Amino acid sequence: MPVEKSASYDVAVIGAGVFGSWIAYCLRKAGASVILLDAYGPAHARASSGGESRIIRMGYGPDEIYTRWSIRALPLWQELFAEAGRPELFQRTGVLWIADESARESYARDTIATLTRLRVPFEKLSNANLRHRYPQIAIDDTSYGILEPSSGVLIARRAVQCVVDQAQKIGVTYQIAAAQPPEPATALRGKLHELATTTVAAEKISASKFIFACGPWLPKLFPTLLANRIFTSRQEIFFFGVPPGDQRFQPPALPTWLILRDEFYGMPDLESRGFKVANDRHGPAVDPDTQSRIATPEALAAAREFLARRFPALTNSPVVETRVCQYENTSNGDFLIDQHPDFENVWLVGGGSGHGFKHGPSVGEYVTTRILQSGVTSAAASSLTPAAEQLERRFSLATKDSAQHRAVF
């Protein structure tokens, strides 16, 4: 839908990834007039929200806030998919954590405690049960399992496109346009009033509030503020072909899995696209516009070594697809949701890569609440509960360091 040059909106959301699309959708549901912009399109090939699949899980060790947000997000995803007639965009594969008594045991133990406290269904599998149920996985003698039977996989690219489609149906204006970096010198009494964009007509977008939810492009738009607070890393993903006629690597025989000791995760053969294997360790720093999207021999060798050790029946499986994307994380993995220090009507939302995709609906609701509160009275913050104040602090720009020390997984 083309932008009317004279139009002004309550909110302009920059970035049509999973965070931006859900923020736009939730704001419109709350009654705001919204325009959603993206330089390339929703969940495009260079986006952190692109690709075929993302895990939605409840386990987060002791980090109860993210477990609660996952609990809230899953039914919201399902409701939106049902409204769109696309229920297949959530695949209930189950999610299996493979933990070890001698490797990050506290994380698994804390996960069990949090799931129990919040009444999330799960099953703890002994070593013998784990081996019996999933013989296709090579299990260490000291390993055990935590199975979340109701969790699974979101079909990522199509899921984000579905959110954008549904947002447009309820009145959100969507436009392909590249935002130009706003300069503090352009502020009028501490506010940004227009956003310059790079389009054929070079429109300027007028809005009362601006939300920048553009993932790895955040430090490119705000280099002075975020270049040393948002870390964009290269991540390589491989899909391996399963043996012909072999159903051991498809659901329900195999769930989505995470092996804590190895820091690898993956998914069964969904939609006959191949067996997904991904290394969760952060890769080298990259630029999302210019990095090579061709997988490296070194990353393939590491994935094959892992596959041979943990899924020996797939040792010689062919690569049927590769993906090179990126994470964009804050120093510790917490989200960034805060106002820009130079523009009182500009918000920054990001830092979600590696674990944020599932939380799109919860982020959308949270940001909508914050935005609407900030527009009511200056005393709004004083009405927040201590838990809400703690959350604001945790997501604040002030808590984001210039050195990485990952604490959220």
CATH number at residue 28: 3.50.50.60
Give 256: exposed, middle or buried? Use CB within 10 Å, 0-12, 13-18, 19+: buried
Residue 232 pLDDT level (bands cut at 50, 70, 90): very high
Residues 199 and 296 in one domain: no
Residues 190 and 222 in one domain: yes
Residues 248 and 125 in one domain: yes
**What's the number of domains the chain is made of?**
2
Residues 305 and 168 in one domain: no
pLDDT digits (tens, 9 = 90+) for 376-386: 333 333 334 55
Say which DSSP state 222 is in.
S
Would you state the structure tokens that stand for residue 300, as one six-digit string? 């393939």
Residue 389 pLDDT level (bands cut at 50, 70, 90): confident
Strand partners, 234: 326
Residues 137 and 270 in one domain: yes
Question: Cα separation of 187 and 202, whole Å?
Answer: 20
Residues 390 and 350 in one domain: yes
Q: What is the pTM of this model?
A: 0.94
- Has residue 60 been placed in a domain? no
**CB-CB contact of 230 with 295 (8 Å):** no
pLDDT digits (tens, 9 = 90+) for 279-289: 999 999 999 99
Question: Cα separation of 37 and 16, whole Å?
Answer: 6
Q: What secondary structure does DSSP assign to 93-113, as a single string?
A: --EEEEEETTBSHHHHHHHHH
Q: What is the percent of the chain with per-residue pLDDT over 70, rounded to a whole number?
A: 92
Domain housing 282 = 65-154+231-329
State yes or no: pLDDT of 56 exceeds 90. Answer: yes
Cα 270 to its chain centre, rounded Å, is 19
Domain CATH for 74: 3.30.9.10
